[in-house]
Structure 1
Amino acid sequence: MRALIGYLVCLIVAATIAFTFSAHKPVSDETAQLRPDRLQINGMLYLDQRVVAVGERGNILLSDDQGGTWQSAAVTPQRDLTLTALVALDDKSLLAVGHDGWILRSVDAGANWAEVRYDADVAEPLLGIWNAGGKQVLAFGSFGKFYQSNDDGRTWQASALEVDSAHLNGMDGGADGRRMLVGEQGLVMRSDDAGRTWHKLPAFYNGSLFGVVRLSPDRWVTYGMRGHVFVSQNFGQTWAPVNVGNQLPLYGHVLLPNGGGLLIVGAGSSMVRLDGNGHLLNATRLSGLGTLTSAVLVNARRLLVGGERGVFQGTDGSVAALGQ
């Protein structure tokens, strides 16, 4: 069961193991340019005027017209391994992580990527990466893997966390040193000293948590399996459940501008919106998009969602309304 959970978490979006590990035809550059809907997307970000998306077989896609058209980035070497997440360090510097401890770095806003770390011997996936500010970056993943870079992602050192080899799935924090890290079996770790020390919070849920979001120094949201969403108003001391009305797993999120709250996406094309206080505004499902893993707002108004069927540009009123 531990291995099964691990594989599901690795791809974040997998509805079934069969889809995740079934053979996929190699995707050509031409296909990536013209048909981003044929690639499984696991993470996206908006950088100035560019959208960057990462996904299966080492594919990284770029759009400079708000998701209208896409082109492939250059990845060296291209190992055809699943990429799971990415982060921006500044307007030009980006990092992406994936299977086999793979870490890629770009210094030209995602056009070209170079390998800075790869560990085929361990062959375990990294599932997330977080910019801690300054030159510090943190990467984390399966079986408690936790790495730190103090030079903008150029070199990495392993760090030990007392998490009993649990998979680490999501992280967030702020400049005041308050951070949270979540993972499988309801794991929530908290630090109030910029990660120098971590404390495991008492369990309040026994399923996997896939993401955590800081809304304010005291207000935090975490979400995961079976549609579970929890809100804390006291930096994780206590958590209250939010009833979203279904049991579909939730895998990714985007913060909305001007304190507008949070949009969470997941399986079954589900979308859950919370306000800035963590209260439920609505929960809905799109049509025909399958499992969603990520979302991004372009120019603070246009919503793009990504997942097992690629990238979708929301043009209908129901999607656009969620991004307001």
Structure 2
Amino acid sequence: MRSLIGYLVCLFVGLTITYTFLPRPEAVPANPPLRADRVQINALLDVGRRVLAVGERGSILLSDDQGASWQQAQVQPQRQVALTALVALDDQRLLAVGHDGWILRSEDAGQHWREVRHDDSLGEPLLGVWAAGGERVMAFGSFGKFYQSIDAGQTWQPLALDIDSAHLNGMDGGADGRRMLVGEQGLVLRSRDAGEHWQTLPAFYSGSLFGVVRLSASDWVTYGMRGHVFVSHDFGEHWRQVEVGNALPLYGHARLPGGGLVLVGAGSSVVRLDARGELASASRISGHGTLTSAAMVGSRLLLGGEQGVFVESAGNLATLGK
């Protein structure tokens, strides 16, 4: 009996020593840094001290160090569907839109988000959101979906447009009431009275337009499929194509300090336009696939796309902020 007890004691001690010296996995931090290069990004937004990115599976990422590191925001509820665009009403109140008519709202600069609208009955995406000033916001998307909020995005009402259910992809405007909406099949709508009335402009291109930018009351740029970029110097009365030297679609843009734009798209295309919408440079970055979005954060250019978010400062892009 004593020998059995002694054997069991020795066995217990041996197992304890073995366990003590076994290699341990490293402790996982409560909020580990997020690999922002492993999330498809559809839109970027700089709100001063913070940069935000939205993308696949309801992802909302935020960075407080100009894109060097990222954390995941808290979304309630998390529906795991793609988010496509976001906008700031001020430095605290933000809105994000996505598939299934999903609209999210934040009141703490993007740290926490709550759902204010969702409709999965049709599964149709919202593709853009634009702040009209004050409490007024517009959201738009597939098959002519166009909504307005007059209470900073808390409630939404549909607005009718005579566009035969065309997809709406981009919107811009100014405090003087001049606005433009662009979409598929070269659709361009213009308003002179803050969206009370819309005029469909004569077609000057048959492919999809993905974005529109107001450079001044008269100077506007729109861009889209097959590398097509157009500029107007008379608020859309006439348009002229800007030859950028490639036929790859362009999906997003960022304004540059001092005026001008950078446009990004498929094949890591990067096109720079000056303050009048004329071509300044066109190039491609190797190894980053399709780019969907861009944001100037200080002197750094952040790019987003199918390979997440990254900082581009090499080559001709180093002078973009000058």
Deviation at 1:32, TM superposition (A): 8.4
User: Which runs of no fewer than 5 residues in structure 2 stay unpaired?
Assistant: 1-28
SS at match of 2:33: helix
Per-residue CA shift, 1:148-193, capped at 9, x if unaligned? 0000000000010011100000000000000000000000000000
1:252-271 residue pairs with structure 2 within 5 A? 252-259=252-259, 261-271=260-270
Residue 323 of structure 1: CA displacement? 3.2
Instruction: Work out whether residues 251 and 292 of structure 2, in 8 Å CA contact, stay in contact via their aligned partners in 1.
Output: yes
The equivalent residue for 2:16 is: none
1:272-313 deviation per Cα after TM superposition (whole angstroms, max 9, x unaligned): 1110111101100011111001100112x1110000100011
Q: Give the 3-state SS of the residue equivalent to 1:119 in structure 2.
A: coil
Deviations 1:198-250 (A, max 9, x none): 00000000000000000000100000000000000000011000000000000
1:308 corresponding residue in structure 2: 306
Aligned 8 A contact 2:256 2:320 in 1: no
Residue 151 of structure 1 aligns with an amino acid whose one-letter code is D
What is residue 47 of structure 1 aligned with on the other side? 47
Task: Name the CA distance, whole Å, in 1 between partners of 2:163 and 2:32.
Answer: 38
Distance across 2 between alignment mates of 1:294 and 1:162: 29
State the match for 2:319 in structure 1: 321
**Equivalent residue, structure 2, for 1:88:** 88
Aligned length: 294
CA gap of 1:30–1:214, structure 2 versus 1, over 3 A, is: farther
Structure number with bigger Rg:
2
* 1:185-196 pair list within 5 angstroms: 185-196=185-196
Q: Which runs of 5+ in 1 are unaligned?
A: 1-28
Q: Does the 8 Å contact 2:251/2:293 carry over to 1?
A: yes
Q: Deviations over 1:118-144 (max 9, x none)?
A: 001121000000000011000000000
CA contact (8 A) 1:186 1:205 kept: yes
The alpha carbon displacement at 1:258 in A equals 1.8
CA contact (8 A) 1:223 1:250 kept: yes
What does residue 276 of structure 1 align with?
275
| Cα offset, 1:30, TM superposition | 8.6
Asked if 1:152 is matched to 2:165, the reply is: no
Take 2:30 and 2:37, find their aligned partners in 1: how far apart are those partners? 13
8 Å Cα contact 2:34/2:72 also seen in 1: no
Task: Report the secondary structure of 2:52's partner residue.
Answer: strand
Query: Deviation string for 1:76-108 (max 9, x for gaps)?
Result: 000000000000000100000000000000000
Structure 1 counterpart SS, 2:317: helix
Provide the aligned C-alpha RMSD in A.
1.3
Distance 1:258 1:323, change over 3 A: closer
The answer to whether residue 268 in structure 2 is matched with residue 246 in structure 1 is no
Q: Equivalent residue for 2:19? A: none
Alignment of 1:1-324 (within 5 A): 33-259=33-259, 261-299=260-298, 301-324=299-322
Name which structure has the greater RCO, CA cutoff 8 Å, separation 6+. 1
Give the conservation status (yes or no) of the 8 Å contact 1:270–1:286.
Answer: yes
Contact 1:32 1:70 in 2 (8 A): no
Opposite residue 185 of structure 2, the aligned amino acid is Q
